[in-house]
Amino acid sequence: EVQLLESGGGLVQPGGSLRLSCAASGFTFSSYAMSWVRQAPGKGLEWVSSISDTSIGTYHADSVKGRFTISRDNSKNTLYLQMNSLRAEDTAVYYCARPMPQPPREFDYWGLGTLVTVSS
């Protein structure tokens, strides 16, 4: 059974940093690209970042480019999101999700999410 389990969320002050983790199990992690998708309170879904299976390619939404960095450790079956220079508008539940290889590259598995709150 595929499982994705996020951790690392919490309360952080504006301008601060946080690192999210996503532990994957139940599939060959190193064979799949992975992504982060967030959802602000009461709002819709927003894609944040994605990384290829071998980490050669990393991609970020314009809203987080230059502040967030996605990475992975295939030996630990773990995905990361390093978030720096956090802003109030980054407050959201952050989901780890697995995109399929072919368009529309739908996300077939999602984690439960971890809440990040940026506030003073």
Q: Does 57 bind other proteins (CB under 8 A)?
A: yes
Q: Does 37 bind other proteins (CB under 8 A)?
A: yes
Q: Does 35 bind other proteins (CB under 8 A)?
A: yes
Phi, psi of 71 (to 5 degrees): -150, 175
Q: Are 118 and 86 in contact (CB under 8 A)?
A: yes
Phi, psi of 3 (to 5 degrees): -135, 140
Single residue of 41, 66, 101, 103 touching other proteins by CB under 8 A: 103
CA 86 distance to own-chain centroid: 15
Q: Does 45 bind other proteins (CB under 8 A)?
A: yes
User: Which residues are near other proteins by CB under 8 A?
Assistant: 35, 37, 44-47, 50, 57, 59, 61, 95, 99-100, 103-108, 110-113
